[in-house]
Chain A
Amino acid sequence: GAGVSQSPRYKVTKRGQDVALRCDPISGHVSLYWYRQALGQGPEFLTYFNYEAQQDKSGLPNDRFSAERPEGSISTLTIQRTEQRDSAMYRCASSLLGRTGELFFGEGSRLTVL
């Protein structure tokens, strides 16, 4: 596709359920990033990949959060046993070169945990 695609755009789930958020980056982009953005705040780094390798996962809040990019393209961010505090906009971004490259963001996945 022409841009970064994220699905679902909106997800409402009950506390304790697992959710999987998908990101399809721009074709050919080496690096893929996951951010979380609360209303009125800047994007908060979660993790990023170069190709299929997870380079930095230090931003993941706890071990309920995990991400993978098995074939170096599509990535999935999984949140297990969701809690209300996990409610946020989850944004995926990709870049062509990785280091110092411009990030292209997707429209985001809005997660609401009831």
Chain B
Amino acid sequence: GQQVMQIPQYQHVQEGEDFTTYCNSSTTLSNIQWYKQRPGGHPVFLIQLVKSGEVKKQKRLTFQFGEAKKNSSLHITATQTTDVGTYFCAEETSGSRLTFGEGTQLTVNP
């Protein structure tokens, strides 16, 4: 089963509002990856976090890895309709197996 828990499962925002999704694990993670899946599309890699406390930014997206490497977050500032989709975190378990969370489905009302 899944080892990473993602919350919330769904998030509806008005365009321009901020959005955050959280990924939590009961175990220390070696690294964590984030993917975005547009409706009807396939998962697309966004970023990988490796270091404790790491913060990375991609334009309006900010990714954080917790100090204890047990949690991570993705924050989107001033959402746009192009941000619609499901955001997944994924952790590496037992070798190179990548285990995905259940995802947070984001809808943005224009």
List the interface of chain A (C-beta within 8 A of B): 31, 33, 35, 40-45, 48, 50, 55-56, 59, 91, 93, 98-108
Contact = CB atoms under 8 A, between A and B. Distances in A.
Nearest to A45: B97
A107 B44 CA distance: 11
A44 B43 CA distance: 12
A105 B46 CA distance: 13
B101 A42 contact: yes
Given A100-B48, A106-B42, A108-B42, A43 B96 contact: no
Given A42-B88, A43-B100, 10 more contacts: A31-B96, A40-B105, A42-B102, A43-B43, A48-B97, A56-B94, A100-B30, A104-B45, A105-B44, A108-B42
Contacts of B68: none
Contacts of A42: 2, 88, 90, 100-103
Contacts of A107: 42
Nearest to A97: B96
Interface in B80-110: 88, 90, 92, 94-103, 105
Interface of B: 2, 30-31, 33, 35, 42-45, 48, 50, 88, 90, 92, 94-103, 105
B96 A48 contact: yes
B45 A102 contact: yes
A56 B48 contact: no
A101 to B, nearest CB: 8
A102 B97 contact: no
Contact of A100 (B44, B92, B102): B92
B42 A41 contact: no
Contacts of A100: 30-31, 48, 50, 92, 96
